A and B are shown apart, each in its own frame.
Chain A
Amino acid sequence: EPEVTQTPSHQVTQMGQEVILRCVPISNHLYFYWYRQILGQKVEFLVSFYNNEISEKSEIFDDQFSVERPDGSNFTLKIRSTKLEDSAMYFCASNPQGSYNQPQHFGDGTRLSIL
């Protein structure tokens, strides 16, 4: 069964540095998402992306964050000037177009540790 893949599985970065988290959604999917889970807390929505633009974002997704689909397969989350509180598990998810009744397919996540 096709899967959403995320790299790296664990990223350690110095505070203040920029980090790029990578995701390869399922190939025929057109909706893409990033979620964040701070340790011990619930999964929080960050942003959704469709047709090469952000369709919805949460209040967490401020100017520090950006997303991009640089080619036909990758979907990236860039975090600029990282802070200690950015340490979390980041999940990528994707969905086929128009499939509201289909669950989002999640990747295994990238654990981001800010030192």
Chain B
Amino acid sequence: AQTVTQSQPEMSVQEAETVTLSCTYDTSENNYYLFWYKQPPSRQMILVIRQEAYKQQNATENRFSVNFQKAAKSFSLKISDSQLGDTAMYFCAFMGTNTGNQFYFGTGTSLTVIP
């Protein structure tokens, strides 16, 4: 069974600073996909960034980047130049190719950006 662990229930960061959210996962699959979703107070689930496990290069999307360590099964999210609008719940998610497109989510990290 796939599990996703986010060990930081809450984090805070000063505006314009950098913060890293951690995520680890457990799987026996070799081909899979990893995602970070943002859930602001409006409760939408918004895709932030995704990483294919077969790609060694870390994904980057503007101020968001990941540090993907496949051997360690680690997938951290780095947010640079934090903005007030980044305040949200962040969920790490795993999708294997043998699990019918089902997502497995972590318990989330609540990030607060302090002005």
Partner-B contacts on A (CB < 8 A): 31, 33, 35, 41-45, 48, 55-56, 89, 91, 93, 95, 100-101, 103-104, 106, 108-109, 111
Whether B103 and A45, one on each chain, are in contact in the complex, defined by CB atoms closer than 8 angstroms, is: yes
* Contact among A56, A106, A111 with B102 in the assembled complex (CB-CB below 8 Å): A56
User: Smallest CB–CB gap between B89 and chain A, Å?
Assistant: 10
Chain A contacts for B44, CB-based, 8 A: 106, 108-109
* Contact among B97, B101, B107, B108 with A104 in the assembled complex (CB-CB below 8 Å): B101
User: Smallest CB–CB gap between A110 and chain B, Å?
Assistant: 10
User: Smallest CB–CB gap between B4 and chain A, Å?
Assistant: 8
Among A35, A42, A108, max chain B CB count under 10 A is at: A42
User: Smallest CB–CB gap between A51 and chain B, Å?
Assistant: 12
Chain B contacts for A109, CB-based, 8 A: 43-45
Q: List 15 A-B contacts (CB under 8 A).
A: A41-B107, A43-B105, A45-B102, A45-B104, A48-B100, A55-B100, A89-B43, A93-B45, A100-B95, A100-B101, A101-B52, A103-B95, A104-B95, A109-B43, A109-B44
Among B42, B46, B47, max chain A CB count under 10 A is at: B47
Count residues of B near A (Cβ-Cβ below 8 Å): 24
* Contact among B35, B91, B99 with A103 in the assembled complex (CB-CB below 8 Å): B35
Whether A42 and B106, one on each chain, are in contact in the complex, defined by CB atoms closer than 8 angstroms, is: yes
Chain B contacts for A33, CB-based, 8 A: 101-103
Please encode chain B, from 34 to 64, with 1 for each CB lying within 8 Å of some chain A CB and 0 for all others: 0101000011111100101000000000000
Whether B101 and A43, one on each chain, are in contact in the complex, defined by CB atoms closer than 8 angstroms, is: no
- Bound complex: CA A43 to CA B105 (Å): 6
Chain A contacts for B105, CB-based, 8 A: 42-44
Chain B contacts for A56, CB-based, 8 A: 99-100, 102
8 other contacts beyond A43-B91, A56-B102, A93-B45, with CB at 8 A cut-off? Answer: A35-B103, A41-B107, A45-B104, A93-B103, A100-B33, A101-B33, A103-B33, A108-B43
Chain B contacts for A42, CB-based, 8 A: 91, 105-108
Within B85-115, the residues touching A (CB, 8 Å) are 91, 95, 97, 99-108
